[in-house]
């Protein structure tokens, strides 16, 4: 009879822990159990099994430079609980210039499941979970699966599942585990030293040691990790990530140390490295640390870039205001002209330092931003469009700010003129900031990886270079003497100068519609009409005061000021979220090519194909000029076709952390950036910020010649 009882028991567990696999498209997913059942109050491991299609991968808890971790949302019977994934040690997955962390082939992600204490033996508990995956190859595809597993509730602990008990136990044994490790980290120049000591490291083969952080912002995943062996452990030299920007540092470095076929969890606190961890590790290549610039060359490059920035297309509208201001100085005494030049310079420097401080603060907070970041915000773009419209209306004579160009003789008018020069300097920087001049990109990119003092010094040099030409003119008597004398011609000149400002406002409206959709167009145009009406009312009030000479502020002026406030508030609130989402979803036509993604670039390079990558933005006027006069021309298009290049366009009009990270890897903090990847997997060639057809065609021909 014993054999009959055994047979009945076996039959009772036959088909236990039933589950059905789901094919999501690029992987097969299912829930599998460590045991054939579960007793009340017992903890067993149920694993999410992924059978991933060849060549594709999913992601670890920290996906690395791009990607998204697998998630599982449970629906359990009352009183049942499920814990977090026990994550296996990931693999490094290089994708072009990026490095991601994840899994290929087959992987089990065990989850501890606790049965309710009042679960009734003889019943079957159905556990349901929604699994979400990001599965990537040359493209990334989000996939979902609704999974179920039926676990019989048994009076006593159930026997192991004959198929899955062994693999789940193996996955749990190989998972990173706690160990008697002591770790600390310290900043060392442009690198971070992570010192680790403890029993598991003694006698271990540390040649392939690698630290996988839990936080994606603490290190640059794509850069190498230097290694130094110590008597009781090791020191890894890491390239810091966003968490270390601006002199900040995280409270801890937590993650997994993979070494000698094993993996250990560790948490390192900031402070002196533990004794026996070794030295600081071998120095990493300068390229890994973000380039070989130092403060003095970076400041010099920034100064030269600031000088050249005066010639960039994005500054042309503000050059009109500079020209009007210079003309207004004609025939004045030299001391007064110098005061106006210094006022303009002060406005430039104040604006550059304010932008720099905002950039440094956002970087320290972990934001992926770069030069020109302010024009990635639809409310900022809308306010600037209204500001440009107001300036144009002022130049058109609709209303006055302070005094006119003709009436600058009195001391009161002089003070108003100085304020106007400060405003002109600030406005010039706001409009010029999206552009990147030669020398400027490398300097700003280096500055954003440095402590705040060094970064501010570089931005100060940039501001000095930008302000220098205007200030120099006001300090050179010979140049001032060549300026035309003030006269009636200036009013005509002033009206003409309004039209570049109208053009600047129209450009900003175009940028806004790309960022926030068609609904934003009606909103900004309505606000512009209200602003124009307010300017007209202010002009009426100013003319009334000029005639009455009573100094009283009339109702028209107060109504005009109120309408200006209404127009400004209207373009700031409510948020542009829904319109921006629609704009994001609507594909935009590119030049003869396709949109950029790191995976697409990696796939093309893996096939040995030459690639031209254009990092651009709609608000970058330099980028648009390069696109129009160079990249969109027939000779360049023919060269790309002849040489077999694929054209990829990385559009940074809206905030995109992946593109910001790519710019940072090449030492840039803004656009434009042009990369030519030659055939046969060659390293990229960086083209200048100002393109010519000859430069591009020569780079394309040279890249095609590198095949084989």
Q: Distance between CA 175 and CA 170 in Å, rounded?
A: 9
Q: Does the residue 5 lie in any domain?
A: no
- Phi then psi for 396, rounded to 5 degrees? -75, -5
- In contact, 531 and 505? CB cutoff 8 Å: no
What pLDDT is attached to residue 551? 55
What pLDDT is attached to residue 356? 77
- In contact, 567 and 538? CB cutoff 8 Å: no
- Identify whether residues 537 and 635 lie together within a single domain: no
CATH number at residue 22: 2.60.40.680
Q: Is 523 left (phi over 0), alpha (psi -120 to 50) or beta?
A: alpha
- Identify whether residues 156 and 58 lie together within a single domain: yes
The distance of Cα 211 from the centroid of its chain, to the nearest Å, equals 24
What pLDDT is attached to residue 126? 95
Domain boundary among 289, 319, 344: 289
Of 580 and 245, the one with more pLDDT: 245
Q: Which class for 542: exposed (0-12), middle (13-18), buried (19 or more C-beta within 10 A)?
A: middle
* Nearest residue to 645 (alpha-carbon basis) of 605, 606, 588: 605
647 preceded by cis ω (within 30°)? no
Angle at 576 between CA 571 and CA 577, to 5 degrees: 165
Q: Does the residue 4 lie in any domain?
A: no
Residue range 248-266: average pLDDT?
92
- Identify whether residues 121 and 226 lie together within a single domain: no
The residues, any chain, with a CB within 8 Å of residue 62's CB and separated by 6 or more, are 69, 101, 212, 213, 214, 215, 216, 255
- What does the mean pLDDT of the chain come to? 78
Task: Take residue 615 and report the two structure tokens written for it.
Answer: 């990092």
The band of 617, judged by pLDDT with boundaries at 50, 70 and 90, is: confident
Of 669 and 33, the one with more pLDDT: 33
| Strands 58-64 and 106-114, sheet pairing | unpaired
What pLDDT is attached to residue 168? 96
Kindly report whether the global pTM for this prediction surpasses the value 0.75. no
What pLDDT is attached to residue 469? 81
CATH number at residue 642: 3.40.30.10
Q: Does the residue 324 lie in any domain?
A: yes
- Phi then psi for 313, rounded to 5 degrees? -60, -30
Instruction: Supply the range of the domain harboring residue 160.
Output: 12-174
- Identify whether residues 166 and 185 lie together within a single domain: no
- Identify whether residues 556 and 625 lie together within a single domain: no
- Identify whether residues 272 and 322 lie together within a single domain: no
pLDDT in tens, 381-424: 777 778 778 877 877 888 776 433 333 333 323 334 677 678 77
DSSP one-letter string for 36-99: S-B-TT-EEEEEEEEEEPTT-BEEEEEEETS----EEEEE--TT-EE----PPP-EEEEETTEE
| Strands 262-270 and 177-178, sheet pairing | parallel
* Nearest residue to 667 (alpha-carbon basis) of 220, 244, 274, 133: 220
Q: Distance between CA 660 and CA 655 in Å, rounded?
A: 8
Q: Does the residue 209 lie in any domain?
A: yes
pLDDT in tens, 427-478: 777 766 655 555 565 666 666 656 777 778 888 888 898 888 878 877 776 6
Residue whose structure tokens are 């320290």? 364
- Identify whether residues 556 and 663 lie together within a single domain: no
For the chain, the helix, strand and coil percentages under 3-state DSSP, each to the nearest 5:
45, 20, 35
Q: Is the dihedral of CA 557, 559, 560, 565 positive or negative?
A: positive
Domain boundary among 142, 157, 174: 174
* Nearest residue to 613 (alpha-carbon basis) of 653, 640, 646: 646
Q: Does the residue 368 lie in any domain?
A: yes
Three-state DSSP class for residue 177: strand
pLDDT in tens, 496-525: 777 877 877 887 787 777 767 666 777 888
Q: Distance between CA 676 and CA 611 in Å, rounded?
A: 6
- Identify whether residues 390 and 507 lie together within a single domain: yes
Which helix (H) or strand (E) segment is 229 a member of? strand 226-229
pLDDT in tens, 36-49: 999 999 999 999 99
The band of 686, judged by pLDDT with boundaries at 50, 70 and 90, is: confident
Domain boundary among 148, 174, 200: 174
How many domains is the chain built from? Answer: 4
* Nearest residue to 352 (alpha-carbon basis) of 462, 449, 505: 462
- Identify whether residues 380 and 446 lie together within a single domain: yes
DSSP one-letter string for 572-611: HSS-SHHHHHHHHHS----SSSEE--HHHHHHHHHTT--E
- Identify whether residues 428 and 564 lie together within a single domain: yes
pLDDT in tens, 347-383: 888 888 887 787 666 655 544 455 555 556 677 777 7
What pLDDT is attached to residue 319? 56
Which residues partner with 673 through β-bridges?
615
What pLDDT is attached to residue 436? 56
Of 420 and 30, the one with more pLDDT: 30
Q: Does the residue 279 lie in any domain?
A: yes
Residue range 254-273: average pLDDT?
92
The residues, any chain, with a CB within 8 Å of residue 105's CB and separated by 6 or more, are 51, 52, 54
- Identify whether residues 402 and 482 lie together within a single domain: yes
- In contact, 426 and 223? CB cutoff 8 Å: no
- Tally Cβ neighbours within 10 Å of residue 588: 12
End-to-end CA distance of the chain: 76
Q: Please say if the pLDDT value at position 530 is more than 90.
A: no
Residue range 302-325: average pLDDT?
66
Q: Does the residue 619 lie in any domain?
A: yes
- In contact, 97 and 662? CB cutoff 8 Å: yes
The angle that helices 295-309 and 440-447 make with each other, rounded to 10 degrees, is 130
- Identify whether residues 553 and 567 lie together within a single domain: yes
Q: Does the residue 41 lie in any domain?
A: yes
- In contact, 470 and 346? CB cutoff 8 Å: no
């Amino acid at each position: 009879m014993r054999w009959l009882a055994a047979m009945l028991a076996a039959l009772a567990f036959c088909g236990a822990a039933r589950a059905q696999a789901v094919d999501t498209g690029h992987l097969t997913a299912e829930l599998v159990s460590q045991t054939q059942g579960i007793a009340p109050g017992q903890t067993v491991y149920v694993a999410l099994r992924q059978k991933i299609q060849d060549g594709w991968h999913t992601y670890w808890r920290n996906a690395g430079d791009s990607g998204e971790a697998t998630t599982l949302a449970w629906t359990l019977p009352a009183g049942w609980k499920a814990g977090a994934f026990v994550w296996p040690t990931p693999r490094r997955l290089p994708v072009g210039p990026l490095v991601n962390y994840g899994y290929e082939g087959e992987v089990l992600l065990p989850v501890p499941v606790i049965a309710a204490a009042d679960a009734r033996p003889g019943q079957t508990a159905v556990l349901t979970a929604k699994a979400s995956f990001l599965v990537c190859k040359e493209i990334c595809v989000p996939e979902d699966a609704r999974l179920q597993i039926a676990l019989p509730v048994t009076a006593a602990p159930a026997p192991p599942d004959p198929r899955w008990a062994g693999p789940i136990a193996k996955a749990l044994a190989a998972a990173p585990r706690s160990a008697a490790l002591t770790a600390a980290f310290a900043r060392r120049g442009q690198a971070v030293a992570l010192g680790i000591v403890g029993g598991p490291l003694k006698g271990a083969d540390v040649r392939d040691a690698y630290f996988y952080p839990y936080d994606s912002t603490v290190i640059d995943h794509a850069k190498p990790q230097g290694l130094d062996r110590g008597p009781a452990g090791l020191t890894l030299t890491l390239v810091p990530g966003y968490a270390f920007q601006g002199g900040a540092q995280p409270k801890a470095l937590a993650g997994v140390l993979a070494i000698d076929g094993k993996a250990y969890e560790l948490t390192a606190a900031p402070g002196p490295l533990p004794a026996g961890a070794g030295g600081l590790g071998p120095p990493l290549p300068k390229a890994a640390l973000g380039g070989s610039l130092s403060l003095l060359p970076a400041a010099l490059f920034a100064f030269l870039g600031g000088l050249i920035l005066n010639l960039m297309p994005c500054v042309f509208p503000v050059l009109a205001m500079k020209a009007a201001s210079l003309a207004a100085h004609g025939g004045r005494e030299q001391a007064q002209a110098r005061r106006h030049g210094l006022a303009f310079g002060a406005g430039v420097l104040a604006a550059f330092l304010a932008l720099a401080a905002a950039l440094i603060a956002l970087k320290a907070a972990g934001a992926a931003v770069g030069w020109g970041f302010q024009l990635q915000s639809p409310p900022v773009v809308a306010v600037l469009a209204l500001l440009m419209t107001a300036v144009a209306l002022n130049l058109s004579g609709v209303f006055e700010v302070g005094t006119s160009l003709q009436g600058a003789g009195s001391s009161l008018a002089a003070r108003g003129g100085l304020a106007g020069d400060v405003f002109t300097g600030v406005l010039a920087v706001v409009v010029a900031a999206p552009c990147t001049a030669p020398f400027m990109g490398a300097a700003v990119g280096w500055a954003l990886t440095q402590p705040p003092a060094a970064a501010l010094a570089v931005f100060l040099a940039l501001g000095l270079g930008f302000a220098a030409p205007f200030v120099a003119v006001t300090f050179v008597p010979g140049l001032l003497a060549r300026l035309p004398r003030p006269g009636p011609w200036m009013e005509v000149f002033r009206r003409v100068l309004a039209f570049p400002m109208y053009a600047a406002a129209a450009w900003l409206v175009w940028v806004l519609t790309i960022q926030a959709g068609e609904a934003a167009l009606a909103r900004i145009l309505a606000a512009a009409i209200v602003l124009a009406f307010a300017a007209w009312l202010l002009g009426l009030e100013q003319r009334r005061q000029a005639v009455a000479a009573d100094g009283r502020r009339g109702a028209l002026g107060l109504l005009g000021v109120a309408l200006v406030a209404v127009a400004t508030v209207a373009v700031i609130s409510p948020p542009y979220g829904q319109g921006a989402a629609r704009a994001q979803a609507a594909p935009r036509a590119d030049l003869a090519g396709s949109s950029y993604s790191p995976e697409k670039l990696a796939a093309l390079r893996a096939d040995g194909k030459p690639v031209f990558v254009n990092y651009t933005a709609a608000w970058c006027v330099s980028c648009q000029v390069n696109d129009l006069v160079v990249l969109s021309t027939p000779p360049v298009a023919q060269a790309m076709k002849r040489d077999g290049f694929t054209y990829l366009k990385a559009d940074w009009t809206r905030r995109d952390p992946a593109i910001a990270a790519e710019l940072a890897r090449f030492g840039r903090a803004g656009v434009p950036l042009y990369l030519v990847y030659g055939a046969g997997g060659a390293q990229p060639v960086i083209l200048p910020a100002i393109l010519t057809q000859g430069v591009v065609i020569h780079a394309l021909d040279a890249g095609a010649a590198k095949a084989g």
